[in-house]
Amino acid sequence: MKKYILWIIALLLVLIALYFYSEYNRKPVSAVDAKAHIVSAEELMKQFLANDSLADEQYKNDVIELNGMVSSVEKNTATVLVFSKEGASVRCTFEDIIPINDSLRVTVKGFYIGYNKDELLGTDIMLNRCVLLK
Amino acid sequence: MKDLLTILLLTFFSLFTHAQERYFTKSGVIRFESKAPLENIEAVNRSAVAVLDRSTGALQFSVNIKGFEFKKALMQEHFNENYLESDKYPKSEFKGRIAEMPATEGFHNVAAVGKMTIHGVTKDVTIPGKLSITKDNVSMTGVFNITLSDYNISIPAIVRDKISRTVTVSVDCTLIPLK
């Protein structure tokens, strides 16, 4: 009986160790699999221009699935797709350079990381770790 | 008549010198690195916003804390929920100026002097950096250290060997004229 108990304890310790190891090495969830708010770029900008703190609260810590017409593409350390209109923009930053042109209608999914409201620069809604769905 | 002409010419030319005063970026890159006995941690933020006034040297930076990308989920979660409390303090900012802002093109060693706000705490800082001014844009790079306790960022004893008390921050951005 004692022998079995020792084996069970040893097994439990191994399982606990494996759990901590996998938890420690866990990579951030990809936007692809996450549950998201589905909204058009136009609509999202409208919401922030109407009431930015309310919109920020609504999307805080969430994933957004955005569809719209790409206004411009920036290539820095990673690609940034920009959807813009008068006084506002949504900036979708990827983790790498991706092949894409502007003037395309796309669906992008990314993590909402906040917004920046500035009289000079306009209202910018920011998403990062974005993935291109289509 | 001659004076009027001089005034008109000077005004005309001054329009050109002040025409491209403010430069900006919305994709500045901020990296930070923590080197500790048990582990090195690093993160990158690709969405820093910066505005520079080339004539006065006035400089402002704004970074959304949730925009920092980590390789390990646990680290990103602790960073946001426990250390920086990004729900409470969503942004980190610098407001100040480039001391003795250079007017000419080329590479310049400069210092940015002003107030740094992290985790809701504001401190006076002087940060060394480099400016590269060309006809089309201004590039700015800088490396500096942040002592976590200066900004009330507390690291629990359990992970003390995993996170160093000072982190190294590096800034790299290219600003273009604001039209």
Its ipTM equals 0.87
Asked if A87 and A42 count as a contact pair (C-beta separation under 8 A), the reply is: no
Asked if A129 and B73 count as a contact pair (C-beta separation under 8 A), the reply is: no
| Contact residues on chain B for A117, CB-CB shorter than 8 A | none
Residue B14 clears pLDDT 70, i.e. is over it: no
More confident residue, A86 or B97: B97
SS3 label, residue A31 = helix
Q: How many CA atoms lie within 13 A of B169 on its CB side?
A: 21
Q: How far is CA B103 from the centre of its chain?
A: 20
- Smallest CA–CA distance from A126 into chain B, residue: B47
For residue range B22-76, list pLDDT tens digits in order. 999 999 999 999 988 878 889 999 999 999 999 999 999 999 999 999 999 999 9
The per-residue pLDDT for A84 is 93
Q: Measured between CB atoms, does B162 come within 8 Å of chain A?
A: no
Q: How far is CA A66 from the centre of its chain?
A: 10
Give percent of chain A above pLDDT 70: 99
Of B90, B113, B89, nearest to B100 by C-alpha is: B113
Please, which residues bridge with residue A51 across strands? Answer: none
Please state whether beta strands A79-85 and A122-132 pair in parallel, antiparallel, or not at all (unpaired). Answer: unpaired
The type of residue at B64 is N
What lies within 8 Å, CB to CB, of B131 at 6+ separation is B98, B102, B107, B108, B110, B138, B139, B140
- How many Å lie between the alpha carbon of A128 and the closest alpha carbon of chain B? 7
Mean pLDDT to the nearest integer, B125-142: 95
DSSP code at position A34: S
Q: In angstroms, how far apart are the furthest CA atoms of chain B?
A: 80
- By the 10 Å C-beta count (0-12 exposed, 13-18 middle, 19+ buried), A111 is classed as buried
Lowest mean pLDDT among A84-88, B9-13, B28-32: B9-13
Kindly indicate the confidence band of residue A123, based on its pLDDT and cuts at 50, 70 and 90.
very high
Cβ of B51 and A25 within 8 Å? Answer: no
Choose the closest CB to A128 out of B46, B91, B174.
Answer: B46
Asked if B143 and B168 count as a contact pair (C-beta separation under 8 A), the reply is: yes
Cβ of B64 and A113 within 8 Å? Answer: yes
Q: Measured between CB atoms, does B35 come within 8 Å of chain A?
A: no
CA dihedral angle for residue A111, residue A52, residue A89, residue A33, rounded to 10 degrees? 20
Using CA atoms, how far apart are residues B33 and B94, in angstroms rounded to an integer?
Answer: 19
For residue range B80-121, list pLDDT tens digits in order. 999 999 999 999 999 999 999 998 999 999 999 999 999 999
Lowest mean pLDDT among A46-60, A83-97, B13-27, B74-88: B13-27
| Contact residues on chain B for A96, CB-CB shorter than 8 A | none
The per-residue pLDDT for B8 is 73
Lookup: tokens for B116: 């740094």
- How many Å lie between the alpha carbon of A132 and the closest alpha carbon of chain B? 18
Kindly indicate the confidence band of residue B13, based on its pLDDT and cuts at 50, 70 and 90.
low
Mean pLDDT to the nearest integer, A87-111: 91
The per-residue pLDDT for B11 is 63
DSSP code at position B69: B
The residue ranges of DSSP E strands in B15-75, in sequence order, are: 22-35, 40-53, 58-64
- Smallest CA–CA distance from A60 into chain B, residue: B87
Kindly indicate the confidence band of residue A134, based on its pLDDT and cuts at 50, 70 and 90.
confident
Kindly indicate the confidence band of residue A3, based on its pLDDT and cuts at 50, 70 and 90.
confident
